[in-house]
Amino acid sequence: MTFRVLDPDPYLGHYAGEELEIGGQTFLFHPLRVWMDLADRLDCHMRVPERDGPFLKITFQKKETRQRDRTLSSNTEKYGAQSEFQRIHKLEEPYFLLDAIQALRSLDLPAEARILDLGVNSGEELRLLDLAYPGNHFEVLGLDHSESALNIARGRFPQHRFQVADINALPEDLGTFDLILSIGTLQSANIEVEPVFRRLLKHIKLGGHWLLAFPNSRYSGGEISYGARMVNYREPELSLLFKDVAFFRRYFQKHRYSVNVTGKYYILVTARSLSRV
Ligand X SMILES: C[S@@+](CC[C@H](N)C(=O)[O-])C[C@H]1O[C@@H](n2cnc3c(N)ncnc32)[C@H](O)[C@@H]1O
Applying CB under 6 A, the residues found at the interface with ligand X are 73, 79, 90, 119-121, 124-125, 144-146, 149, 166-168, 183-185, 188, 190-191
Q: Which is nearer to ligand X, 146 or 270 (CB)?
A: 146
Residue 12, helix vs strand vs coil: strand
Question: Closest-CB residue for ligand X?
Answer: 119
Kindly state the smallest distance separating residue 265's Cβ from ligand X, in Å: 11
Please give the span between the terminal C-alpha atoms of the chain, in angstroms, as a whole number.
60
Name the percent of the chain in helix, strand, coil, to the closest 5.
30, 30, 40
Kindly state the smallest distance separating residue 19's Cβ from ligand X, in Å: 44
User: Residue 121: how many CA atoms within 13 Å on its side-chain side?
Assistant: 22
User: Which DSSP string do the residues of 133-186 spell out, in sequence order?
Assistant: STT---EEEEEES-HHHHHHHHHH-TTSEEEE--GGG--GGG--EEEEEEES-T
Kindly state the smallest distance separating residue 176's Cβ from ligand X, in Å: 20
* C-beta of residue 184 within 8 angstroms of C-beta of residue 213: yes
Q: With the C-alpha atoms ordered 34, 35, 40, 41, is the resulting torsion angle positive or negative? A: positive
Q: Which is nearer to ligand X, 30 or 209 (CB)?
A: 209
Q: Which is nearer to ligand X, 46 or 212 (CB)?
A: 212
Kindly state the smallest distance separating residue 118's Cβ from ligand X, in Å: 7
Kindly state the smallest distance separating residue 271's Cβ from ligand X, in Å: 18
Kindly state the smallest distance separating residue 213's Cβ from ligand X, in Å: 7
Angle at 124 between CA 247 and CA 182, to 5 degrees: 15
Q: Which is nearer to ligand X, 79 or 157 (CB)?
A: 79
CA distances 111 to 108, 129, 131, 134, 135, Å, are: 9, 12, 14, 11, 9
Q: Which is nearer to ligand X, 58 or 212 (CB)?
A: 212
Q: Which is nearer to ligand X, 145 or 209 (CB)?
A: 145
